[in-house]
Structure 1
Amino acid sequence: MASQPGILTDWPWKPLGNFKYLVLAPWVAHNIYSVVFNDYVEEPFYYLVLPFLLARMLHNQIWISLSRNQIAKGKNRIVDKGLEFDQVDRESNWDDQILLHGLLLYIGYMTLPGNNSPMPLWRTDGVVLTALLHAGPVEFLYYWLHRALHHHFLYSRYHSHHHSSIVTQPITSVTHPFAEIVAYFLLFAIPNMIIIMFTRTTSMASIFGYAFYIDFMNNLGHCNFEFFPKKLFSIFPFFKYLCYTPTFHSLHHTKFRTNYSLFMPIYDYVYGTWDESTDDTYEASLKKTKDLPDVVHLTHLTTSDSIYHLQLGFASLASNPQTPKWYLYLMWPFTFVFKLMAWILGRTFVSERNNFEKLNLQTWVVTRFTQEYLLKRKSKRLNKIIEEAVLEADSMGVKVLSLGLLNQKEELNAYGQLYIQKFPKLRVKVVDGSSLAAAIVVKCSIPKGTKQILLRGNFDKVSFAIANTLCEANVRVTTLYQDELTKLQLGLNTNPRALSTASYEKKIWLVGDGWDEDEQKKAPKGTLFIPFSQFPPKQMRKDCLYHYTPAMLASPSITNMYCCENWLPRRAMSAWRIAGIVHALEGWNVHECGSTTFSITQVWDACIRHGFKPLDAPL
């Protein structure tokens, strides 16, 4: 929002929320009706509007994913600062201008003269005239409109909303108040209106192609990474006056009073508003190499639609906890293609970059899904991918690699011990985070004063650590069956009297993987389910409480956090991810994998000391 919002700041359909697409319903319904009842409109342009709008959305999304991936890796990055959730929320309505364009196209077809005669696919004279009109009056008028928007009166009421984003991403280009977008639409309509009203040389190529050009150049200018080769400007020196670079416009967002031009910088050179640091910043961006991380968190894809929840996916989904969305089922063709691509890729990629104190943090994603980790026949291939990631991290000089989700599964690699045994000279420290996961459950999740808990699920490294600590604190740990109790007694070094069997009538359940989730139906009302596993339990009871999986709120010093980690809330990190960060901060020169565990008190105190805070509220 602008600092002093002016009139027509909000979009007309803002009250509709996610139902805003209904504004196009009458035209879409008419299209369907015409096809079903063979009442075709002779003009093919009419039927191409909706596919064109969808193509524009896809085009923008490709730029978003490409930009986020490139910035996460660091190569050719221009502004080396991070995004935050407030910017993601502010820019979440980037599709509003596409809806407005659709309305104008439909209304224009119905009201402008000559809409009954079929529009040609291509007319060279119309395309050339569109290009000339853009290079002439559109670029010139935009330059002065843009300078006017930087006057205090208009800037405070409108344009400051756009400039709230110092670090740009492609969709920043269309993040404007409604009135400002309307002004731009009127400006960009000049070529089409002149052609339609005076020369009658319009074509679908000139109308749709011009809009695509505007989108392409807007995304290019706000992508925050440089890719124009220096050789291009050496061969064609005058080209720098005709086409801006991402660096050129990025400086406008950091300097504010320079580089006002739309896509052709010539007017900044003519009127003396060109930023003198443009060339140096451009060359510095081209020399920027990939980031070398200090800490890597290795995770993997979960459900089929988890691809859309990644930082490289849909911004609105990635910035909120992962939950099922009905409309993602409609995207199954794209989901199938993405799953096929993930299967073919068969390795890891950089998904996220953060900074904390002097550490460069990265999240790497294994392109495999949860269901594959549950198949024994897939173990060999999965271990190969994880092993390659460990060796790559080691070759890059990474200090710590933490294993997230099922990448540390006991049946798969014995909590990472497999790689340590195979490569005993590894310099990178492999961390499974079990000690911190147990610490969070004991120190934070279990209510103070608890005297008895019921333990459900497979007994693993985390559950044994929790049970041992609770028994030492005289908290009775119970199971449902005698064989479970026997297994627990054999795995602990504690007083057996602190263990016993019990019924379902316990108010606090510690639950892990492998338990029968239908047991929830037998729990008394008000039961608190506390997971100690990587994955949350299925919530089957509305009269019970469910805690998050072991996690903490990130330290305020961690920057560039604008995506949620799986199902966790904003700025929350899983215990397994935090464990790697704290391991590096403390300089612990040992692995935490296999049967190795740390003192629960030691890892908890270290987390608190480095600014991590308890995430102690149930869902």
Structure 2
Amino acid sequence: MAPPLSSWPWASLRVYKYFLLAPLAWKVGQEWLEQGGAPLWSPWLHLLLLFSARGLTYQFWFSYSNMLFLTRRRRVVPDGVDFRQIDHEWDWDNLLILQTLIGASVVNGPLGPGLDHVRVWDPRGLAIALLLHVGFSEPVFYWAHRALHRAPIFGQYHAAHHSTPVTHPLTAAFGTPLEALLLTLTIGVPLAGAFLMGAGSIGLIYLYLLAFDYLRSMGYSNVEVVSHRVFQAVPALRYILYTPTYLSLHHREKDSNFCLFMPLFDLLGGTLNTKSWELQKEIYQGKNDVVPEFVFLAHVVDIMSSMHVPFVLRSISSVPFENHLVLLPFWPVAFTGMLLMWCFSKTFVVSSYCLRGRLHQTWTVPRYGFQYFIPAAKKGINHQIELAIVRADRIGVKVLSLAALNKNEALNGGGTLFVERHPDLRVRVVHGNTLTAAVILNEIPSNTKDVFLTGATSKLGRAIALYLCRKKIKVMMLTMSSERFLKIQREAPAEFQQYLVQVTKYQPAQNCKTWLVGKWLSPREQRWAAPGTHFHQFVVPPIIGFRRDCTYGKLAAMRLPKDVQGVGSCEYTMERGVVHACHAGGVVHFLEGWKHHEVGAIDVDRIDVVWKAALKHGFTPS
């Protein structure tokens, strides 16, 4: 049996836990109807507004700390937050729910009527709250926190909070009910004191609570935000304001730095970690800024998927992307973000992970999928990709892999343009399509006799057709261009050319149950497929499954090796720990130490070589 106050009573409710706040919304609705307008002085309304504002404070720090393009040079612990930690801390906002319910009980209790005429602001209340914070909250939290680190209390109530050395803004609110009640006492006494002395105000509640959450999130952000020069200029500030390095040392070493916000109490209690300030200086100066050895150069697919990046919503980015209804209200914000990216065109670092002890990063070009099909945008997009390649080469990246549209044949010849412009590149430019072709080909059942191929003259379509014809599999290549078909057919050995057949309509494929889709198919075009057909896909975006009597494969992808660390976001629609095959192809190129560029046409003879190398390094089909 679990110890009391070690688990949340509403844990089984999952997302429905937010209905615990429904009575507050009901009260606001009643007052709205009674007053004929918004009840601006309603304590119930302010409790809901505080809940939202406090949640946004944690969200602000979460977003900032995950904006690697801004924060990567000043990260205290360079490791990423993985899926295990995300799931572990999924219900981090239980603290806010509990404190909102406690606030509701106060409003509904004997003190409630007295809150109807509370002032908007009283500066005396702030002075009283600060005095009580320093004189009561800080020392009480310090000693209670030290007590939580003693056995057996630590294992029962505090170990979960310390289960990962990588602190995070949402970690700040995560804990057991006992820890939440301790924080509630820490917050509540200064506010209660101000009100009991007749100096309380609505403004004080907002200011104190939001400042408390702001400082707590800042400490857990894992990013240094205050320059070491400030602490050198004002040495006393070291004992008044803690830093993310200071807090991180507590989470890693556990026997020091117990303070709430003021290291003064660690100094008085003899638990001050002497490494805190020198390490803070080193980190602020870029000690943990490591150059990645592999980069995957991605792009945004559309406005909705732009909200799937790791620094927006962890609950969204940590699962495969879908068009959730909850994202619709944020569409205007995402649209504005798109316009800003156009104005300030710069490649962004959006995520990182570690594999075999080496840093891998994903950069994204500030361009959206539809832009790649605008002729006037071609030059600007290639310029952005070229800048990213030159930057990678300058800082020492070894392999840069191009995502989907960044290697479009019509755009830059599958990356050939950049290699020709910069013949002395040290970074290897890789389109990764050799492994993509291998993944698709290894999905096809061994007893297949014929296939129908759309996008047949594309880079991938060509390689797939030439590979399959060598296996004596009939390939119906859908293309209107006889010239392009004949060019591919002549590449095949003479004895296998008969297995490549040009078709210009969908009717010849109506008896073929293996369709390889490299060009988007409308519902009308899908109707030509026979019942039981399986659609293998290498088209972006993937086709929509309209046929219930057929099956639809996912985009070519591979699962990362088991020793990968720090992966906490899904790559577009891929499952957790799964990446697009072209991404995996670039990683394999890096791990093998191959010195050639993989650009332009796919070398059919290397398909099996790359496939075997991927399996050797622990990649598995998804």
Whether TM-score is above 0.5 comes out as: yes
Of 607, 617, 620, the match for 1:600: 607
Pairs within 5 Å for 1:178-217:
178-196=177-195, 198-217=196-215
Contact 1:517 1:537 in 2 (8 A): no
Aligned AA (1:221): G
Aligned AA (1:529): F
Which residue is equivalent to 1:497? 498
Distance (Å, rounded) in 1 between the aligned partners of 2:352 and 2:331:
29
Which residue is equivalent to 1:68? 66
Contact 1:297 1:364 in 2 (8 A): yes
Task: Label 1:526 to 1:596 Cα distance change in 2 as closer, same or farther (>3 A).
Answer: closer
Of 13, 16, 21, the match for 1:16: 13
Which residue is equivalent to 1:159? 158
Deviations 1:126-147 (CA, angstroms, capped at 9, x unpaired)? 0111111111111111112111
Deviations 1:499-523 (CA, angstroms, capped at 9, x unpaired)? 3453323322211134335433443
Q: Does 1:244 align with 2:245?
A: no
Distance (Å, rounded) in 2 between the aligned partners of 1:518 and 1:261:
66
Of 21, 26, 32, the match for 2:23: 26
* Matched position secondary structure for 2:555: coil
Which residue is equivalent to 1:96? 94
Contact 1:252 1:259 in 2 (8 A): yes
* Matched position secondary structure for 2:382: helix
Distance (Å, rounded) in 2 between the aligned partners of 1:179 and 1:190:
17
Which residue is equivalent to 2:226? 228
Deviation at 1:350, TM superposition (A): 0.3
Contact 2:79 2:353 in 1 (8 A): no
Which residue is equivalent to 1:354? 353
* Matched position secondary structure for 1:438: helix
Contact 2:294 2:400 in 1 (8 A): yes
Distance (Å, rounded) in 2 between the aligned partners of 1:359 and 1:265:
35
Q: Does 1:391 align with 2:368?
A: no
Deviation at 1:612, TM superposition (A): 1.3
Contact 1:552 1:612 in 2 (8 A): yes
* Matched position secondary structure for 1:296: strand
Q: Does 1:510 align with 2:507?
A: no
Distance (Å, rounded) in 2 between the aligned partners of 1:406 and 1:7:
55
Deviation at 1:44, TM superposition (A): 5.3
Which residue is equivalent to 2:620? 613
Which residue is equivalent to 1:299? 298
Deviation at 1:73, TM superposition (A): 5.8
Give the TM-score normalised by the residue count of structure 1: 0.92
Distance (Å, rounded) in 2 between the aligned partners of 1:454 and 1:47:
61
Task: Label 1:542 to 1:175 Cα distance change in 2 as closer, same or farther (>3 A).
Answer: farther
Deviations 1:17-38 (CA, angstroms, capped at 9, x unpaired)? 2233222223224434544553
Deviations 1:192-221 (CA, angstroms, capped at 9, x unpaired)? 22232x212111221111111111111111
Task: Label 1:455 to 1:5 Cα distance change in 2 as closer, same or farther (>3 A).
Answer: farther
Structure 1 spans left out of the alignment, 5+ residues: none
Contact 1:44 1:119 in 2 (8 A): no
Which residue is equivalent to 1:450? 448
Deviation at 1:161, TM superposition (A): 0.9
Deviations 1:42-65 (CA, angstroms, capped at 9, x unpaired)? 725543433333222222222112
* Matched position secondary structure for 1:152: coil
Which residue is equivalent to 2:573? 567
Aligned AA (1:609): K
* Matched position secondary structure for 1:580: helix
Deviation at 1:458, TM superposition (A): 5.3
Which residue is equivalent to 2:588? 582
* Matched position secondary structure for 2:573: coil
Distance (Å, rounded) in 2 between the aligned partners of 1:489 and 1:107:
79
Distance (Å, rounded) in 1 between the aligned partners of 2:30 and 2:457:
60
Contact 2:81 2:166 in 1 (8 A): yes
* Matched position secondary structure for 1:74: helix
Aligned AA (1:315): R
Task: Label 1:206 to 1:116 Cα distance change in 2 as closer, same or farther (>3 A).
Answer: closer
Greater alpha carbon shift after TM alignment, 540-549 vs 183-192: 540-549
Task: Label 1:26 to 1:518 Cα distance change in 2 as closer, same or farther (>3 A).
Answer: farther
Deviation at 1:320, TM superposition (A): 0.9
Which residue is equivalent to 1:54? 52
Aligned AA (1:124): P
Contact 1:60 1:215 in 2 (8 A): yes
Contact 2:454 2:479 in 1 (8 A): no
Contact 1:458 1:514 in 2 (8 A): no
Deviation at 1:229, TM superposition (A): 1.8
Deviation at 1:469, TM superposition (A): 0.9
Contact 1:84 1:561 in 2 (8 A): yes
Report how many aligned residue pairs link the two structures. Answer: 609
Q: Does 1:325 align with 2:324?
A: yes
Deviation at 1:76, TM superposition (A): 2.1
Deviation at 1:486, TM superposition (A): 7.5
Structure 2 spans left out of the alignment, 5+ residues: none
Deviations 1:113-169 (CA, angstroms, capped at 9, x unpaired)? 444533222211101111111111111111121112112222212211101121111
Distance (Å, rounded) in 1 between the aligned partners of 2:178 and 2:326:
30
* Matched position secondary structure for 1:427: coil
Of 530, 535, 541, the match for 2:536: 530
Deviation at 1:576, TM superposition (A): 1.2
What is the CA RMSD across the aligned residues, in angstroms? Answer: 2.4
Contact 1:72 1:351 in 2 (8 A): no
Distance (Å, rounded) in 1 between the aligned partners of 2:273 and 2:580:
44
Which residue is equivalent to 2:281? 283
Aligned AA (1:76): R
Q: Does 1:553 align with 2:559?
A: yes
Indicate the percent of aligned positions where both proteins have the same amino acid. 32
Distance (Å, rounded) in 2 between the aligned partners of 1:547 and 1:152:
52
